Amino acid sequence: MIKTIRLFFAVACSAAMALASFFAWPQEKVLNLYSARHYQTDEALYTNFTRATGIKVNRIEGGEDALMERIRNEGPNSPADVLITVDVGRLWRAEDMGLFAPVKSKLLEARIPANYRDPNGNWFGFSTRARIIAYNKDRIKPSELKSYEDLADPRFKGRICTRSASHVYNLSLMGSIIGALGEEKAEAWAKGVSANLARAPKGGDTDQLRAVAAGECDIALSNTYYYVRIMRSGKPEDKKLIEKVGVIWPNQNGRGTHVNISGGGMLKYAPHKEAAVRFLEYLASDEAQIYFADGNNEWPVVPRVATHNPALTALGSFKADPINIAIIGKNQPLAQKIFDRAGYK
């Protein structure tokens, strides 16, 4: 009788374990992605990842700040496994909020250059973009502008357009300038650029490019993908803009042009950690790099992976600032303080 009872419990336990394994396995075949990227070409990323791994991607899209607040509010109950967003400033903000869990991956460390990932493995860059100077071809000679520092020259008083200094793109640029010049010189630069503005900062990078083409100002700052997006447009007005507006790679005789990233990391309470790491590693593959970068007219972050974007290729090569962008992220709060002190809104 005792042997029969023991046998019953043994069989029951085995059945329970098998049932638990049956239900646990599908959970490992799911990835919950919170993404601030909204590009149609990213669909190929998720389809190919599922095809290669069998892991289904459940995606929630939203604005960066809204997604980060959602993750923080969800806390340990968050279903999110991975956060994807743009600009190191936002990745640093998510890190500062304690949202990420460090990832140790030999593959990611081997494929992604050290200056495009967090030293502690909290986040990784998967594509790059540069912050360029755009100019009106009829009013500015390229030889007049060689660096970001030139934008503070009184020669350009009343001739510059920018978006808000508090926008993360400009905060990251300032973060790189702090890293290169130090706080005191960075503040002098901010005051000089603020004094040279043609109008109060407003709009996005595309608005600045259109303002230069329209003659509202002669010079503007823009991320490369905004300019390339217009290059690839078939609209007559966009073709005219490209005819009127040229671009300059700043600081080619010095530290190089400021470069930023799109990237992501595994979240602290990720319920599917193995799937999260596999997804991040997949984004570093040659195939994914092309989809991820070309989806927003950017460059692959992995060396030797060539872009398939003819407009990007047409811009030519340039020297990039080699600073570890984690430093740019950490400089964000100081960058905002400097802009505030300079009266640059």
> For residue range 102-159, what is the model confidence (pLDDT) as tens digits?
999 999 999 999 999 999 999 999 999 999 999 999 999 999 999 999 999 999 999 9
Say if residue 329's pLDDT is above 50. yes
Per the listing, tokens 């195939």 go with: 287
The burial class, CB within 10 Å (0-12 / 13-18 / 19+), for 243 is: exposed
Establish if 297 belongs to a structural domain.
yes
pLDDT at 284 (0 to 100): 98
58/136 same-domain check: no
What would the pLDDT profile of 69-80 be if each residue is shown by its tens digit?
999 999 999 999
Closest by CA position to 84, among listed 131, 31, 120, 163? 31
Q: Which residues contact 199 (CB under 8 A, 6 or more apart)?
A: 161, 211, 216, 217
73/159 same-domain check: no
Say if residue 2's pLDDT is above 80. no
pLDDT at 44 (0 to 100): 87
Establish if 23 belongs to a structural domain.
no
Say if residue 212's pLDDT is above 50. yes
Which residue stretches of the chain are H helix? Answer: 2-28, 42-53, 64-74, 88-96, 106-111, 168-181, 183-195, 205-214, 224-231, 236-244, 273-283, 286-294, 310-315, 325-330, 332-342
CA dist 260 and 321 (Å) reads 10
CA dist 183 and 187 (Å) reads 6
212/98 same-domain check: no
50/138 same-domain check: no
Establish if 4 belongs to a structural domain.
no
193/301 same-domain check: no
Element holding 83 (H helix, E strand): strand 82-86
Establish if 25 belongs to a structural domain.
no
CATH label of the domain that carries residue 296: 3.40.190.10
As beta bridge partners, residue 134 has 220, 247
Percent of the chain with pLDDT over 90: 87
Q: By residue range, what is the domain housing residue 279?
A: 32-128+259-309
295 or 24, higher pLDDT: 295
Domain count along the chain:
2
Q: What is the mean pLDDT of residues 278-305?
A: 94
Average pLDDT, the chain: 92
pLDDT at 28 (0 to 100): 58
141/245 same-domain check: yes
Say if residue 230's pLDDT is above 60. yes
Q: What is the mean pLDDT of residues 324-331?
A: 97
What would the pLDDT profile of 7-54 be if each residue is shown by its tens digit?
333 434 443 333 333 233 344 599 999 999 887 778 889 999 999 999
42 or 274, higher pLDDT: 274
Establish if 162 belongs to a structural domain.
yes
pLDDT at 5 (0 to 100): 37
pLDDT at 43 (0 to 100): 87
235/151 same-domain check: yes
